[in-house]
Amino acid sequence: MKHDSHTAFLEAATNVAEHTGKGADLPKAALWSVDRNSISYKKDGYHTLSLYLKGGENSYRHDQASNKGQVGRLCIMPKGQETSWEIVGPINFAHLYISDEQLDFFTSRTLERDSRLINLKDTVYEQDEILRTLMLKRLKLDHEGAATSLLAKEEATNEILYRLTTNHCSGAVQGSTLKGGLSYIQLKKVMAFVDESTCATPSLEDMAEVVGLSPFHFARMFKKSCGLSPASFVMRHRLEKVKDLLVNSDKCLASISAVTGFAQQSHMTERFKRYTGTTPARWRKGA
């Protein structure tokens, strides 16, 4: 029976630990162990950042046989890319799985850039001491489990995403003409409007008016530029405001719910838990 590449990887590798706990919207990490084997790897739904933790000195990717693995080296495997590897001797490595939605939201909100400008490079056994240190920090926080500060885990993850999107991407450069989306200036205006809006949930019409477009065309163009619909982006932005108020204010949950545009505290709690994997009260305590 013919297996797909991910099935082949799962059959060859042993999942040592997979962290799916706190921080539901954060990229998930997993620890793997593989003995001597030939394997294929493909992850359709996620970009994969891989770090060798032990062994692998003679391992290689089949299309780069002279480039050997080494402890501390990193690989970046963009979503949907299929690769095949020769594992020479036992190795331990970590994977961090990053979805398009996570990458797009970070790009548009933090870098204020069109998400189409970010194309992660296919990277094999690269040495990046900063990214290696950040990856180890994230793995340590995952291992600590319940004792981990939620903010520390989020902070480490954001630093990883920043390093990836500013040092390990290729493709279009800022200022390039991209068809069918908002311009860089338009995108910045909309981001500023959402951030400064006195209304926690600005309407689609209000957002479209900022750049002089109809709501219909604005919604389509915004999604092409950010990878998220306006509604999804605004909801995530509101939840980020909730997190900020939980940490940097003494407002009660009912007040935070009101100022961030939730009709009821229960609604805020439900959406917040879906977004972060924990409740607002626990987030505040864990911070």
Distance from C-alpha of 56 to C-alpha of 96, rounded to nearest angstrom: 18
Q: What is the mean predicted confidence (pLDDT) over 19-27?
A: 66
Residue with tokens 């799962």: 10
pLDDT at 137 over 90: yes
Q: Which domain holds residue 265?
A: 184-286
Q: What is the mean predicted confidence (pLDDT) over 111-118?
A: 80
Q: Which residue has the higher pLDDT, 7 or 233?
A: 233
85, 91, 94, 97 alpha-carbon torsion, rounded to 10°: 20
pLDDT at 287 over 60: no
Shared-domain flag, residues 13 and 122: yes
- Does some domain include residue 176? no
Shared-domain flag, residues 110 and 233: no
pLDDT at 2 over 70: no
Q: Model-level pTM greater than 0.85?
A: no
Q: Are strands 28-34 and 91-98 parallel, antiparallel or unpaired?
A: antiparallel
Angle subtended at Cα 148 by Cα 145 and Cα 151, rounded to the nearest 5 degrees? 135
Q: What is the mean predicted confidence (pLDDT) over 103-129?
A: 88
- How many other C-beta atoms lie within 10 A of the C-beta of residue 111? 16
* Per-residue confidence (pLDDT) for residue 174, from 0 to 100: 46
Neighbouring-strand partners of residue 91: 34
Shared-domain flag, residues 152 and 224: no
What's 149's domain CATH number? 2.60.120.10
Mean confidence (pLDDT) of the chain = 86
When pLDDT is cut at 50, 70 and 90, the band that residue 172 belongs to is: very low
Shared-domain flag, residues 112 and 32: yes
> Which of 138, 170, 202 is where one domain is finished?
170
3-class DSSP state of 224:
helix
- For residue range 56-105, list pLDDT tens digits in order: 999 999 999 999 999 999 999 999 999 999 999 899 999 999 999 899 88
- Does some domain include residue 175? no
Distance from C-alpha of 165 to C-alpha of 121, rounded to nearest angstrom: 10
Shared-domain flag, residues 237 and 124: no
Shared-domain flag, residues 161 and 279: no
- Does some domain include residue 104? yes
Q: Which residue has the higher pLDDT, 201 or 260?
A: 260
Shared-domain flag, residues 76 and 120: yes
Overall number of domains in the chain: 2
- Does some domain include residue 179? no
Shared-domain flag, residues 111 and 143: yes
Shared-domain flag, residues 103 and 242: no
When pLDDT is cut at 50, 70 and 90, the band that residue 181 belongs to is: confident
What's 276's domain CATH number? 1.10.10.60
- Does some domain include residue 177? no
- Does some domain include residue 51? yes
Shared-domain flag, residues 87 and 189: no
Contact, 113 vs 184, CB < 8 A? Answer: yes
Shared-domain flag, residues 30 and 163: yes
- Does some domain include residue 225? yes
Contact, 259 vs 199, CB < 8 A? Answer: no
* Per-residue confidence (pLDDT) for residue 4, from 0 to 100: 66
> Which of 114, 138, 170 is where one domain is finished?
170
Shared-domain flag, residues 239 and 204: yes
E strand segments, the chain: 13-19, 28-34, 37-41, 47-54, 60-61, 64-68, 74-77, 83-87, 91-98, 119-120, 123-126, 169-170
- For residue range 223-240, list pLDDT tens digits in order: 988 888 999 899 999 999
- Does some domain include residue 237? yes
* Per-residue confidence (pLDDT) for residue 253, from 0 to 100: 94
> Which of 146, 170, 194 is where one domain is finished?
170
When pLDDT is cut at 50, 70 and 90, the band that residue 144 belongs to is: confident
Q: What is the mean predicted confidence (pLDDT) over 31-53?
A: 92
3-class DSSP state of 111:
coil
